[in-house]
Structure 1
Amino acid sequence: MAVNGQSIIGPYGPWVDGLIKDSLPKFSYRNPSFTNLEQWKALALDRTRERMGIPDTGPLPVVTRHDSHVHDGLEIESISWQLPYGRPTQALVLKPAGAKGKLPAILAFHDHGGNKYFGLRKITRTGKGQHELMVEHQDHYYEGKAWANEIAKRGYVVMVSDAFTFASRRVMMEDVPDHLRSGLTDKNSENAGNIAAYNDWAGNHEHIMAKSLFCGGTTWPGVFFAEDKVALDLLLARPDVDEARVGCGGLSGGGLRTVMMAGLDHRIKCAVCVGFMSTWTDFILNKSYTHTWMTYVPRLPEELDFPEILGLRVPLPTLVLNDKEDQLYTLPEMEKADKILADIYEKAGFSDNYKASYYPGPHKFDADMQQEAFSWWDKWLKA
């Protein structure tokens, strides 16, 4: 539904929206022709993987362990691994100090926030000094909480890795031609002014990265999924993790990664998507300008609406947390996405395994939302 009858692409909005509105998407489980859940999932998953163009990341990389220390009741490991491309991926693993045996685990995804200089630091604290910008970031989006730490304290092994083009995986100035650097260098990078300048540059560089990925036959969501799958593989390989009790979740860009990861890899037994749920129609008519190039998978909207990507995990437990005044979506389309997911779970006979909640306020994952997310993970991963 367009806001006030207008679209962000003017008179072309209704026409473009109509291209995916003539009937239900081809691989939607809501189509009456799909009566066997497992057969539908096999078909829809194959098509979604094909559209995403998921790149091959090669054999499972070797993990390098850099440091381990205890902070605020948690054992915190600093690790990294090298993919076949780019610089090493840095990650943290957090769990209760002194914990024994196999624990349930969470793959925790950091947000986008228009800030590619930072990644895992957005949702963690290590006790080794927190950048002032990350104090502000956690205050703004997480009500002052490092939510990865908070869920780890409840008895989980939590892994947080830097996403593609963020922090340790970001594009460095020295690696691009001089005429694309806008006069920036990689020196003194922790300075707040330099970070702001880098984030402006990285935001303007997104369309270049997206075009190059498309030319390479892949998509940003496909790369996210490939790299997050490596993180999941490494998490499941740990001797302290119960591989039958693993969840994932995150806010905003972390919610997007949750949609892709939980939708396509069903080793994720419980998912919490925060602040990233609407319809393709909402992006077409109202909100694509508030989102990055990281969201889009060409041709897939003909076959699945956006919430139906997450719906590929039915009947596995799924929670969606929305903010009623979220500036990234319109409330009517968030509600339509909620109904689509509810219809999928109802048709499959597992209505109790899906829930969506709505909270007052703008785009965030505040303390009340965190408590609902944590309780949902506890319900399904600790039973």
Structure 2
Amino acid sequence: MNKSKNTDAEIQGSRRAFISKTAMATAALPLLPATLSATFNNLVPTTNPIPMNQELPKSLIGQYGPWLATQMQDPPKLSFRNDLWSKIEDWKPSAHAKVQEQIAEPLIKDTIPVTIKRTYSYDGLHIEELTWKLPYGRPVEAIFLKPENSTGKLPAILALHDHAGKKYFGKRKITKTSDTQHPLIEAHQESDYEGRAWANEIAKRGYAVLVHDAFSFASRRVYYEDMAEIAWGPLKAEDRTDENAEDVRNIEAYNEWAGHHEHLMAKSLLSAGTTYPGMVLAEDRIALDILSARKDVDAERIGCGGLSGGGLRTVYLGGMDARIKCAVCVGFMSTWKDFLLNKAYTHTWMTYAPGLANYIDFPEILGLRVPLPTMVQSNNHDQLYTLPEMKKADSILAAVFSKAGHTEKYSGKFYDGGHKFDVRMQTDAFDWFDAWLGK
């Protein structure tokens, strides 16, 4: 699942004191003059309120949810579904610019040198362990795979790993580089990918594949020793050593702590003028730069895809960067209304950019790539979304591609079962890449 924890681990004493002082100060305010009081009493709401005697549906935020849902314009201001636009070339520049503004993606201009740490063969694949250093944080680690003995320029896939509330791991979630895997990775691949390392499987089809650790995961995760003032979790300091870092208990404790820390990270990024999706997108673009620049990659035939958090990353990267010629979003598609009323708690802060819902609905972020080929795979019993809103998202994307005159470039597929990217779904996704990228 794509979760962050529901509660902030914050000290409450000072907040209570502030509220208490504020309440006393408010009580001491003078009454409004009669004329001003009358003005307030005569104010007319700008929208029709929900009748007081109407039974309200339940929502994540109680009785606030239904009213907020009525404030959401459908279609939003910059939706291609609006009658204001008939041609994508007239609509896309303004929509793309506004989404870029709301995401507030940081600009990274630095030249990023790439180091090959190790090269070897495994399971019929040529594998490279790579690293590169950004102007902040610890070095990014990545895995590059392609068929052994392949020649010439290959079509390529930027394979995007999931979130799953497991920030200790990143690229390892969807790769396999030896017969020995961590037991938590084995279990994760079994539950989410029907026992497969899907990045390996598509590489075997004739693709060059790059898998990197996303912002705040694995090599890019927040390290305890780099912080202060926030409790680590149930383990004692002496248990957190390099020699037992891969201990299951230690990893699970880190993932628990990282779930709480994600709230703090999101608030800090907002304070800096950026967003969580903006940071993730910036680092995914760097990986795309690196993949595109390789001599064994055809830069005109690059796709991206992933499950869950990888599907979310596909929405932003595929929607915002036209170098992605084919995209497959798996297990991350619904509407802003679904998040508002039903499912915000099941999803990471990597989803949300302030104000973005005023301009386009969530599926329309991915729709910004029209007419480039796009597939969305959803599961009918996925607990992270409601089925009606998944279906609504599918109809929105279908409408965007239809209005643009490119119905054949969009495929929305639904499968039975829960949150997953199983062998059948992988086969359909790989066939889609084959059809549009060739081999």
The two structures have a TM-score, normalised by structure 1, of 0.97
Greater Cα offset, 180-189 or 238-247: 180-189
Q: Which residue of 1 aligns with 2:215?
A: 164
**1:298-377 residue pairs with structure 2 within 5 A?**
298-377=354-433
C-alpha distance in 1, partners of 2:349/2:71? Answer: 21
Alignment pair present for 1:62 and 2:113: yes
Q: Is structure 2 residue 336 aligned with structure 1 residue 280?
A: yes
* Cα distance in 2, alignment partners of residues 329 and 362 from structure 1: 10
Secondary structure of residue in 2 paired with 1:320: strand
State how far apart, in whole Å, the 2-side matches of 1:20 and 1:184 are. 47
Residue by residue, what CA displacement relative to the aligned partner does 1:254-304 show, whole Å, maximum 9, x if unpaired? Answer: 000000000000110000000000000000000001112111010000000
Q: Deviations over 1:340-375 (max 9, x none)?
A: 000000000000000111111100000000000000
Q: Bigger shift: 357-366 or 52-61?
A: 52-61
Q: Is the 8 A contact 1:184 1:198 kept in 2?
A: no
User: What is the Cα deviation at residue 230 of structure 1?
Assistant: 0.2
Structure 1: which amino acid aligns with 2:63?
A: P
Distance 1:33 1:295 in 2: 28
Output the amino acid matched with 1:143: E
Offset at residue 18 of structure 1 (A) = 1.8
Amino acid paired to 1:41 = K
1:337 partner letter: A
Distance 1:350 1:48 in 2: 22
Which residue in the other structure is 1:19 paired with?
Answer: 71
Structure 2 distance, partners of 1:172, 1:72, is 33
SS at match of 1:304: coil
Corresponding residue to 1:217 among 266, 270, 273: 273
**CA RMSD of superposed structures (Å):** 1.2
Partner of 1:200: 256
- 1:7 is matched by which residue type in structure 2? S
Which residue of the other structure, out of 298, 301, 323, is the alignment partner of 1:245? Answer: 301
Indicate the SS of the match to 1:5: coil
CA distance in 2 between partners of 1:297 and 1:129 (Å)? 39
Deviations 1:120-140 (A, max 9, x none): 000000016210110000000
Q: CA deviation at 1:184?
A: 5.3
Counterparts of 1:43-122 in structure 2 under 5 Å? 43-122=94-173
**Gap regions ≥5 residues in structure 2:** 1-55
* Separation in 2, partners of 1:375, 1:97: 21
The alignment status of 1:296 with 2:352, answered yes or no, reads yes
Match for 2:121: what amino acid?
A: V
Shift of 1:181: 2.7
Within 1, Cα distance between the matches of 2:236 and 2:120? 35
Say if 1:115 and 1:199, in contact at 8 Å, map to a contact too. Answer: yes
Question: Do 1:124 and 1:149's aligned partners in 2 also have CA atoms closer than 8 Å?
Answer: yes
User: Structure 2 counterpart of 1:13, which letter?
Assistant: G
Partner of 2:20: none
Q: Deviations over 1:3-45 (max 9, x none)?
A: x932111111111112213x42110000011122112111101
* Cα deviation, residue 151, structure 1: 0.1
Amino acid at match of 2:60: I
Go from structure 1 to structure 2 and tell me whether the alpha carbon gap of 1:302 and 1:189 turns closer, same or farther (over 3 Å shift): same
Distance (Å, rounded) in 2 between the aligned partners of 1:323 and 1:341: 17
Q: Deviations over 1:134-163 (max 9, x none)?
A: 000000000000000000000000000000
**1:138-177, aligned counterparts within 5 Å?**
138-177=189-228
Query: Partner residue of 1:126?
Result: 177
Q: Sequence identity of aligned pairs in percent?
A: 57
Counterpart residue identity of residue 77, structure 1: E
Q: Is the 8 A contact 2:57 2:66 kept in 1?
A: no
Q: Which has the larger radius of gyration?
A: 2
Unaligned runs of 5+ in 1: none
Post-superposition Cα deviations, 1:167-202, rounded to whole Å, max 9, x if no partner, equal 000000100105433455542210000001000000
Distance in 2 between residues matched to 1:104 and 1:184, nearest whole Å: 48
